[in-house]
Amino acid sequence: MKKQQRKNIHGYTRRDFLQGGMAFGLLPFVTPVSKIFGANDRLRLAVCGVNIRGNILMHDFAEQENVEIAWIVDPDKILLVRRGQEMLEKTGKMPKLTTDFRHALDNPEVDGIVVATPNHWHSLMVIWAAQAGKHCFVEKPASHNFYEGRVALEAANKYGVVVQHGTPRRNSAQYASLVKTIHSGKFGKLSVAHALASKSREGIGHAPVSNPPEWLDWNLWRGPAMVERYHENLVHYDWHWFWKTGNGDLNNQGTHQLDAAFWSLDPELRGIHPTRVMSLGGRFVWDDQGETPNTQFGVAEYPNGQKVIISIRNVDYDGYERQVENRFYFEDGGMIIGNEYFSPDGDRQSLHDLLEVAKITPGGNAGSFVTACRAGDPGMVNASMFEGHYSSALGHLMNISYRLGQKAPFSEDVTGFDHPVIQEQFGVFHSHMRDGVGLNSNEHNYKCGPWLTFDSDSEKFTGEFAHNANLLLRNPSRTGFEIPEVHLV
């Protein structure tokens, strides 16, 4: 009896791969089909990583006026050819295809790159693109760890290229108007910005270590990540739940809400990191090989007293409430929830009637980037590498606290938060896990991280846990994919 071949994520077996002419030797290049396009100001982009988010971005950019998807880059050779055919059908022109984005960087006709790879590639692609004089749209988070985000920011500044961070709320005139109104003091002094990134997910099970499939360029998929062995839970999405490649939901979905929360803080904090952070949570119920928490609560305090908190709950249950939003609490007791402002007296008003109009570069996620690239003006993007670094770093610092955490009682009083809003919101978070998921103090514990103090000037932790915390500010890199030192970028 023949052994049944296991099908991979594409639904192909190894035999299908080889018989279909998809062997490695046919790549990295496919000759483009020629077609004449018009004006000389055509913006030519290389899209790197085209599975889910990258595919969406590729189509968004292809629909922009006088923009050409000139290259498609992906270590998955089957997906690479498929996306090329889709672009051929959509635009009448086949992009060049490669598994190695350095080929696109070396091409003088490429004006910029779009990065939608796993997180561990984000900053290095920004750095190499900047050094090559190419503009870069980078998906969130802008960095996989704190240090490389700083290097990417230095590269963007040094080489003067346009870098846009993939946080679409920055490209929303309505949301920009909300932030402008909060900054104006119309609602009073902001006290706590609450990021809620709670969406249900499922466990990923246990995938055995195996040889990488022939359709995957394993060396280029790993890039800088110190991952030794392949398993199917890495490719193509669940890398999010491993520390060497992802950041958990705190800097996955949570980056959007953390960025909005950081944006709402007083403008004087732009370019300032929090002075104290902590986080707790756990990976409950699923019993899988994922490493990052599926339940997480984090707090960051800034030097002016303002605070950012985040709530993440991924474990589904009957009656689960999806919460992907931002809420704002003011010192006088007023608050913004949803599209309404609740005054300290309990009156409710639609935000529509209260907002001061803000101006942003129009065009949305793709259009604003294209406009800035054509103008050669990094200041025109609504979400620059500067904003990307500081909002992503906020999540990185919270995650470091979690990773240094110790077992603690599953209790509403485990943290001793002394701020009434934070204590109240942690109580809500805890009750979801207790009453909804069914966790209890006899069988379960939180992993509770320490309060870490951080110096924004030196960008280092200080205090009791500083040594171990500082070790987590950066990751080692594989040979040939090293993150350069800041002063050498």
Structural domain total, the chain: 2
If asked whether residues 307 and 402 sit together in one domain, one would say yes
Question: Which one of 106, 138, 170 terminates a domain?
Answer: 170
Predicted confidence at residue 9, as pLDDT, reads 54
Predicted confidence at residue 93, as pLDDT, reads 97
In the predicted structure, residue 209 carries a pLDDT above the cut 70: yes
What's the domain range around 83? 27-170
pLDDT tens sequence across 262-295: 999 999 999 999 999 999 999 999 999 999 999 9
In the predicted structure, residue 457 carries a pLDDT above the cut 90: yes
Predicted confidence at residue 112, as pLDDT, reads 98
Predicted confidence at residue 19, as pLDDT, reads 41
Asked whether residue 377 is assigned to any structural domain, the reply reads no
Predicted confidence at residue 40, as pLDDT, reads 61
pLDDT tens sequence across 156-169: 999 999 999 999 99
Q: What is the mean pLDDT of residues 100-120?
A: 98
Question: Which one of 170, 190, 221 terminates a domain?
Answer: 170
Band of pLDDT at residue 17, cut at 50, 70 and 90: very low
Q: Report the mean per-residue pLDDT for the chain.
A: 93
Higher-pLDDT residue of 24 and 61 is 61
Q: What is the mean pLDDT of residues 427-443?
A: 98
Q: What is the mean pLDDT of residues 220-242?
A: 98
pLDDT tens sequence across 178-193: 999 999 999 999 999 9
In the predicted structure, residue 226 carries a pLDDT above the cut 50: yes
pLDDT tens sequence across 59-94: 999 999 999 999 999 999 999 999 999 999 999 999
Q: What is the mean pLDDT of residues 330-359?
A: 96
Q: What is the mean pLDDT of residues 346-370?
A: 96
Q: What is the mean pLDDT of residues 468-479?
A: 98
If asked whether residues 224 and 352 sit together in one domain, one would say yes
Band of pLDDT at residue 416, cut at 50, 70 and 90: confident
If asked whether residues 390 and 408 sit together in one domain, one would say yes
If asked whether residues 242 and 349 sit together in one domain, one would say yes
Predicted confidence at residue 168, as pLDDT, reads 97
In the predicted structure, residue 133 carries a pLDDT above the cut 80: yes
If asked whether residues 43 and 189 sit together in one domain, one would say no
Band of pLDDT at residue 10, cut at 50, 70 and 90: low
Band of pLDDT at residue 362, cut at 50, 70 and 90: very high
Q: What percent of the chain has pLDDT over 90?
A: 91
Asked whether residue 371 is assigned to any structural domain, the reply reads no
Asked whether residue 205 is assigned to any structural domain, the reply reads yes
Question: Which one of 170, 204, 226 terminates a domain?
Answer: 170
Band of pLDDT at residue 41, cut at 50, 70 and 90: confident
Band of pLDDT at residue 14, cut at 50, 70 and 90: very low
Q: What is the mean pLDDT of residues 346-350?
A: 95
Q: What is the token pair recorded at 300?
A: 């960051």
In the predicted structure, residue 408 carries a pLDDT above the cut 70: yes
Q: CATH number of the domain that 187 lies in?
A: 3.30.360.10
